[in-house]
Amino acid sequence: MSTTLRLGDHELSSRLILGTGKYASLELMKEALTVSGTEMVTVAVRRVELGERGTGAFIDYLPEGMALLPNTAGCYTADDAVRTARLAREAGYSSLVKLEVIGDERTLYPDVVGLLEATETLVKEGFTVLPYTNTDPVVERELLERGAAAIMPLASPIGSGQGVSDANALRILRELFPDTTLIVDAGVGTASDAALAMELGADGILMNTGVASAADPVAMARAMGLAVEAGWLAASAGRIPRKLHASASSPNEGMISS
Amino acid sequence: MSDAAATVRVNGRDEPLEPGTRLDVFLSQLGLDAQRVAVERNREVVPRSQHGEVTLEPGDVLEIVAFVGGG
């Protein structure tokens, strides 16, 4: 098993990818990103505010050397997502994109038809497409057939903090696509959620709200970094089978006599 | 429409346009650093290397974007 996570041209030693939204301040964001150990962050693409100088302020707060993964969050059509991805490539000099085509405002579930269409278009244009979607293996297979570079199923709805809501679905994806990079994207609420997702076979985890909206984002960022690493190590180590009855850890021989 | 009233649509708002303005000049008039933004003109991305070669036309629709925090 590789100890690094490969995404596009990037070789990442941390398997945690963090979002950069929702932080109370940019200083807090920077500190959280730094202590988490992450080497890649997601960023959104938005219109600049005219008349407001210093457009670069946000970017300036990212720790040095941080790889950027632009997203198409907020796009509800394949066309908008494709345009946003093209602009992101121009803005960031990189062809990596976290592709979102959202189909429903309340659940933020993907519009899988639009997602397939946008994936096909962007792959043809040379993008490394990381599509956020649900845990449907049929959709994941269709995405891979269109050239997606990884599968990115949600653990539970974006920003919900519900953790892994369908562990079997993640197990099934891991089993069906053993050689595909699998990033669990969205829904992680605390460290145990992250560790569980890794133990179920994820190659990495992408999260934002779970860290940024924690009462202490810096402490949670560190916890998530440790949890992702711990989950990865545990998955690689191979857990013991579950047994119904106890199995003593200390020798039965050599006991003092009564 | 007279030249004096010429406008381009920038991020959903009309902005005055001096006839013959190049995109690189226009961006600096708006106070934007071209290295930190990406520009789409009439639905096509204009690569940074071509900002100096594109002359804006009245009625052009521009989207000018940058990275912000997001998940």
The string over A225-244, giving b where at least 16 C-beta atoms fall within 10 Å of a residue's C-beta and e elsewhere, is: bbbbbebbeebeeeeeeeee
Tell whether B49 lies on the interface with A, counting CB pairs under 8 A: no
- Asked if residues B67 and A16 have their Cβ atoms less than 8 Å apart, the reply is no
Picking from B32, B26, B35, B33, the residue whose alpha carbon sits closest to that of residue B7 is B26
Tell whether B30 lies on the interface with A, counting CB pairs under 8 A: yes
- Asked if residues A195 and A228 have their Cβ atoms less than 8 Å apart, the reply is yes
Residues of A in contact with B65 (CB under 8 A): 45-48, 84, 87, 91
Q: What pLDDT score was predicted for residue A127?
A: 97
Report the residue of chain A nearest B12, measured CA to CA.
Answer: A47
ipTM over 0.95: no
Q: Where are the beta strands (DSSP E) in B1-71?
A: 7-10, 13-16, 38-41, 44-46, 61-69
What percentage of residues in chain A have a pLDDT greater than 70? 97
Residues of A in contact with B67 (CB under 8 A): 43-45, 58-59, 68, 70, 88, 91-92
Residues whose CB falls within 8 Å of the CB of residue B18, separated by 6 or more in sequence, listed in order: B6
Residues of B in contact with A45 (CB under 8 A): 38, 65-68
- Asked if residues A2 and A192 have their Cβ atoms less than 8 Å apart, the reply is no
Sign, CA torsion B17/B18/B23/B26: negative
Residue A144 burial (CB count, 10 A): 16
Q: A155 CA to chain B: closest CA distance, Å?
A: 15
- Whether residues A44 and B66 touch (CB distance < 8 A) is answered with no
Report the residue of chain A nearest B49, measured CA to CA.
Answer: A90
Q: What pLDDT score was predicted for residue A54?
A: 53
- By Cβ distance, the residue of A21, A55, A73 closest to B32 is A55
- Whether residues A87 and B63 touch (CB distance < 8 A) is answered with yes
pTM: 0.92
- Asked if residues A119 and A146 have their Cβ atoms less than 8 Å apart, the reply is yes
The helix-helix angle for A217-237 and A26-36 (nearest 10°) equals: 20
pLDDT-wise least confident of A134-138, A209-213, B2-6, B67-71? B2-6
Active-site residue, A98 included: yes
Q: What is the mean pLDDT of residues A82-107?
A: 95
- Asked if residues A87 and B65 have their Cβ atoms less than 8 Å apart, the reply is yes
Q: How far apart are CA A14 and CA A205, in angstroms?
A: 10
Report the residue of chain A nearest B39, measured CA to CA.
Answer: A87
Residues of A in contact with B63 (CB under 8 A): 47, 83, 87
Q: Compute CA A207 distance to the chain's CA centroid, rounded to the nearest angstrom.
A: 5
Tell whether A29 lies on the interface with B, counting CB pairs under 8 A: yes
Q: What pLDDT score was predicted for residue A117?
A: 98
Please provide the DSSP assignment of A172-236 as one string: HHHHH-TTS-BEEES---SHHHHHHHHHTT-SEEEESHHHHTSSSHHHHHHHHHHHHHHHHHHHH
Q: What pLDDT score was predicted for residue A52?
A: 63
Each residue's pLDDT tens digit, A150-182: 999 999 999 999 999 999 999 999 999 999 999
| pLDDT tens, N- to C-terminus, chain B (71 residues) | 454 589 999 999 999 999 999 999 999 999 999 999 999 999 999 999 999 999 999 999 999 999 999 99
